[in-house]
Amino acid sequence: MKANSVLGIIYSNAYDTALPELTGLRTMGSVPFAGRYRLIDFPLSNMVNSGISKVGVITKSNYRSLMDHLGAGKPWDLSRKLDGMFILPPFSGAGASGVYQCRIEALYGSLGFIKRCTDEYVVMCDCNVVCNMDLGRLFDAHRASGADITIAYQHGTAPALDDIMTFSFDDGGRINGASVFNGGTEDTDFSLNIFLMRKSLLERLVTEAAGLKMLDFETDVIIRNLGALKIHGFKADGYTRVIDSLQSYYSFSMELLDSGVRAGLFRPEGPVYTKPRDSMPAFYAWGSDAKNCLVASGCVIEGEVENSILFRGAHVSAGASVKNSILLQDTFIGANAKVSCVITDKRAVIRPGRNLSGAENYPFFVGKEIVI
């Protein structure tokens, strides 16, 4: 992909409601994942690694933690004079400060920004899709097929989210049928909501849809236009996961204890950038016992840790035991406490001697800054 040719758009609030526990105080984009990242780091790094130098982040609500995380965009080298990262807060019009209801309205509210950009193409991503995708390949496929729109899709069980499209294709790869998924467990080709098209086409589609008061991007823009526009699919073949619930968040996290899965998400040629915390490396005390775990910097481990993921600054005191759990940033596990199948949000404190236990298919969630 040529510099300055593709504009990136990220929806930071995509499917917030699928993960109410973790998005109560933050956007989907700022949900922590994989020990040291926030979900937005993945689409943002994919874009930067593909040479995109201008990214608009559309926000709707709860975006203060997202702004804290993104700052001036330096960790992604997006603090620029020209181009760079632009946070697009919800201003629906002069003087007002409404909140976007849907994807079309969000794009319409950002149309001024989109129009001012001089890029030829636009690629849009959601934050609940975790992948390490070379968007350059998507771009090459788009140009090779001559499609008007290319949508990345995955084959498998569709996530349990509203408005997820499933596709059928003709022999040339063009989407000739699409419907909005309504549950079911059979394998399908489902949309990853990564859309690539000419910026001028997006502007036209959004203006039209907003003019007709259409609300649903999938049904009213994509599915309606399957005949009029040449819409192609691009099959994602690397690591790709779509978070649709706390359960899938938990199982996708636990999967990362497998080195093969990790290798798919953390490819040497596609580094994942995040805001640094400048904490010291993790410290394992005498008497600690840690195995099969993913541990970020700043952690202190004095007790036992097994089959778990520890985010930056987590502390496991002496005699404590952490199993099959995910401890978000700065979680404190007191001495001799036992936790199993638990997800603790940021700065949660489990008092000494406490015993918390969830189930692998129904983890126990401890909210942000909660002291138990």
**Side-chain-side CA neighbours of residue 334 (13 Å):** 12
Residue 213 or 291 having the CB closest to another protein? 291
Kindly state whether residue 68 participates in binding another protein, applying the rule CB under 8 A.
Answer: no
Kindly state whether residue 74 participates in binding a second copy, applying the rule CB under 8 A.
Answer: yes
Residue 81 or 213 having the CB closest to another protein? 81
**Side-chain-side CA neighbours of residue 368 (13 Å):** 11
Contact between 326 and 348 under an 8 Å Cβ cutoff? The reply is: no
Residue 277 or 351 having the CB closest to another protein? 277
By CB under 8 A, the residues from 42 to 61 that bind a second copy are 61
Contact between 209 and 259 under an 8 Å Cβ cutoff? The reply is: no
Selection from a second copy, another protein, none that 89 binds (CB < 5 to 8 A by kind) is: a second copy
Q: Is 164 exposed, middle or buried (0-12, 13-18, 19+ CB in 10 A)?
A: buried
Kindly state whether residue 90 participates in binding a second copy, applying the rule CB under 8 A.
Answer: yes
Selection from a second copy, another protein, none that 280 binds (CB < 5 to 8 A by kind) is: another protein
What minimum distance in Å lies between the beta carbon of 2 and another protein? 6
Q: Could you tell me how many residues make up the chain?
A: 372
Structure tokens given for 60: 């709707």
What minimum distance in Å lies between the beta carbon of 96 and a second copy? 8
Residue 209 or 301 having the CB closest to another protein? 301
Selection from another protein, a second copy, none that 356 binds (CB < 5 to 8 A by kind) is: none
By CB under 8 A, the residues from 275 to 304 that bind another protein are 276, 278-298
Kindly state whether residue 73 participates in binding a second copy, applying the rule CB under 8 A.
Answer: yes
Nearest to 363 by CA among 345, 333, 341, 344: 341
Kindly state whether residue 342 participates in binding another protein, applying the rule CB under 8 A.
Answer: no
By CB under 8 A, the residues from 201 to 260 that bind another protein are 257, 259
Question: Which residues share a beta bridge with 168?
Answer: 177
Helix axis angle, 41-49 relative to 135-145, nearest 10°?
Answer: 60
Handedness of CA 286, 291, 297, 302 (dihedral sign): negative
Q: What angle do CA 228, 233, 235 make, to 5 degrees?
A: 180
Kindly state whether residue 15 participates in binding a second copy, applying the rule CB under 8 A.
Answer: no
Contact between 162 and 141 under an 8 Å Cβ cutoff? The reply is: no
Residue 73 or 358 having the CB closest to another protein? 73
Output the 3-class SS for 295-348. ECCCCEECCEEEEEEECCCCEECCCCEEECCEECCCCEECCCCEEECEEECCCC
Distance CA(245)–CA(288), nearest Å, equals: 33
Size of the site for another protein (CB under 8 A): 49
Binder to a second copy among 2, 3, 17, 80 (CB under 8 A)?
A: 80
Binder to a second copy among 4, 5, 51, 99 (CB under 8 A)?
A: 99
Please report which helix (H) or strand (E) contains residue 241, including its range.
Answer: strand 240-242
Distance CA(22)–CA(42), nearest Å, equals: 17
Selection from a second copy, another protein, none that 364 binds (CB < 5 to 8 A by kind) is: none
Eight-class DSSP state of 17: G
Between β-strands 240-242 and 84-88, what pairing exists: parallel, antiparallel or unpaired?
unpaired
Binder to a second copy among 95, 146, 211, 260 (CB under 8 A)?
A: 95
User: By the criterion CB under 8 A, which residues form the site for a second copy?
Assistant: 24-25, 61-64, 67, 71-74, 79-81, 84-87, 89-91, 94-97, 99, 112
Which residues are near another protein by CB under 8 A? 2-4, 34-36, 49, 74-75, 77, 79-83, 257, 259, 262, 265-266, 269, 271-274, 276, 278-298, 309-310
